[in-house]
Amino acid sequence: MTGDLGRRAAFGLAATAGGALLAGGTAAAAESTVDSTVDGKHQVSPSFTVVDKRGRQRFLLDSRKPPLIIDGQTYPPERRSGPENGSYLIFNDETGDEKGGLLVHPNGGHIAFDYPHAVDGINLSLSAKDGVGGAGLTINGIPDPDAGPGVRATPRAAFGCHTNFGAQLVLCDSQGRPRIVLQVDENDRPTIKILNGDGKTVNELA
């Protein structure tokens, strides 16, 4: 899930947030997942937030799709891709802006870490349903620091496997165009392709 605000977020292990508190970083307070007991039953909240001494969000665990905090602005959950009831873990920097996160749901999961302005830097995804799917890692180049908000990162490398195409490694040029493709396809046929800037194969080893 690259580009735009609609992306990312995260799977929640309460131990991760707890570990952050025990590590003694900037975390100073937390909103508990459990409220007071009423009629012998716990009133349980679907989220857990860790904030620093200034009250800025640093971690968020949530069982619902959470809002986004980017460049000091909060955007509604609808701007984020992902299922409504996935398990999310969000990482925020010292300004409160989102810097990545994890997501797990019944059909897979996703990990992302961001450059400034919530531009995806690294994405690791997995999807599987009814025996079809795969996993992949995408690495994007750092965007122009003068480009400002809204800039998109350029894909530079991707590695993954899928039942539809086998295993594949793609290396891209500075404009995000695939130039070298190493693949063992779904029929176990290995190939190495060299592509030009127009995406045409100029050399192939099979």
For the entire predicted model, the pTM comes to 0.74
Q: What residues in the chain have per-residue pLDDT under 70?
A: 1-43, 148-149
Tokens representing 71? 């460049």
C-alpha–C-alpha distance, residues 130 and 108, integer Å: 12
**What residue type is 170 in one-letter code?**
V
Mean pLDDT of the chain: 83
CB within 8 Å of 145: residues ≥ 6 apart: 116
Question: What three-state secondary structure class fits 91?
Answer: strand
Q: What is the pLDDT of residue 109?
A: 97
**CB environment 195-205: b (16+ within 10 A), e (fewer):** beeeeeeeeee
Q: What is the pLDDT of residue 17?
A: 32
Q: What is the pLDDT of residue 62?
A: 96
Q: What is the pLDDT of residue 39?
A: 55
Cβ pair 134, 109 in contact under 8 A? no
